Amino acid sequence: MIITIDGPAGSGKSTAARKLAARLGIAYLDTGAMYRAIALRALEHGVRLTDVEALVKTALEADIEVICGPTFTRVMLDGRDVTEAIRSMAVNAATSYVAREQRIRDLLVKRQREIGARLGSLVTEGRDQGSVVFPHADLKFFVDASIEKRAERRHQEMLADGENVTYDEILANLRERDGNDAHQWAPLLEPATAIHLDTTRLTIHEVVEKMLEVIQRQKSSAN
Ligand code: DC
């Protein structure tokens, strides 16, 4: 069973996907982590983010391995664990440059489909999972929340990670990312068949419960 969860930055999709996968006992794939790993590699190799050819080269050379468990994704870049390193503000900002390059997207879409084919069942999360990567997914969710709420959640996460950053910086970063990510190469598309969940007033527990209800309903109507 392939379940896709798409939505804008800070919508709660990562936590929801991880918790849903854990409840279902299937793998969880964080596709943003793959874009982030390439951005980290570009930063570490001194690649200019506006130099598209160099960015594509660094993406093609990157040895990215995503280890998908039901409660975690660990990301290996060129043989080392970068799961934590890809969460910095610098990587946040650089990832938009990576995500807007179509050749890099094609490469990662192919890898994501390979992971899906290999695992058979997974909850996969990103911004194009239901629309582009797995158009025939069994179930598609689209999660959204107000930008203020998304900034608040991101801020809490970053503080918990020990990042020294203000709410206003996060809000500005999200506004910029919403803009960049809405770029024609990587539009955030809501599949017509997706179930839309506004998570502004929901706890993560409530989001996951709603998702489980939908899955249960779908199972009952299939029987
Ligand atoms: O979900 P996230 O914050 O880890 O995503 C990091 C960046 O990668 C963000 O700019 C959106 C982009 N992204 C993408 O373009 N396509 C995906 N499938 C996942 C993430």
Q: Could you read off the pLDDT of 46-58 as tens digits, one per residue? A: 999 999 999 999 9
* Per-residue model confidence as pLDDT tens digits over 2-25: 999 999 888 989 899 999 999 999
Determine the atom of ligand 1 nearest the C-alpha atom of 133: 18
pLDDT, mean of residues 29-56: 97
The pick from 40, 127, 176 for probing ligand 1's pocket by mutation, whose C-beta has the most ligand atoms within 8 angstroms, reads: 127
Percent with pLDDT over 90 in the chain: 75
- The residue to mutate among 11, 13, 30, 31, having the most atoms of ligand 1 within 8 angstroms of its beta carbon, is 31
The CB of 181 under 6 Å from ligand 1? The reply is yes
Cβ–ligand 1 distance for 5 under 6 Å, the answer no
pLDDT at 181 over 80: no
| Average pLDDT estimate for 69-73 | 77
Going by alpha carbons, the residue nearest to atom 13 of ligand 1 is: 32
Q: What is the mean pLDDT of the chain?
A: 92
The minimum-distance atom of ligand 1 relative to the CA of 14 is 1
User: Measured from the CB, is residue 32 less than 6 Å from ligand 1?
Assistant: yes
Residue scoring higher pLDDT (36 or 184)? 36
> How far away, in angstroms, is 206 Cα from ligand 1 center?
24
Using one digit for the tens of pLDDT, what is the confidence trace for 126-168?
999 999 999 999 999 999 999 999 999 989 988 888 888 999 9
What value does the CA radius of gyration of the chain take, rounded to a whole number of Å? 17
pTM, two decimal places = 0.91
pLDDT class of 117 with cuts at 50, 70, 90: very high
Q: Which atom of ligand 1 approaches the CA of 36 most closely?
A: 6
Q: Which atom of ligand 1 is nearest to the CA of 129?
A: 18
Of 92, 100, 114, 109, nearest to 56 (Cα)?
100
Res 158: pLDDT: 83
User: Does ligand 1 have an atom closer than 6 angstroms to the CB of 9?
Assistant: yes
Nearest Cα neighbor of 23 from 128, 132, 102, 123 is: 123
Separation between Cα atoms, residue 64 and residue 75, nearest integer Å:
7
Distances 94 to 26, 43, 75, 150, 167 between C-alpha atoms, Å = 31, 8, 17, 19, 19
Please indicate whether residue 101, judged by its CB atom, sits closer than 6 Å to ligand 1: no
**Residue 156 Cα, ligand 1 centroid: separation in angstroms?**
19
> Can you give the pLDDT at residue 145?
95
Instruction: Report the alpha-carbon angle 197-214-22, nearest 5.
Output: 90
| Domains defined along the chain, listed by start | 2-208 (3.40.50.300)
CB 186 near ligand 1, within 6 Å:
yes
Buried b (16+ CB within 10 A) or exposed e, 141-150: bbbbbebebb
Q: What is the pLDDT, as a whole number, of residue 212?
A: 98
- Contacts with 146 (C-beta within 8 Å, 6 or more apart), sequence order: 200
pLDDT at 183: 54
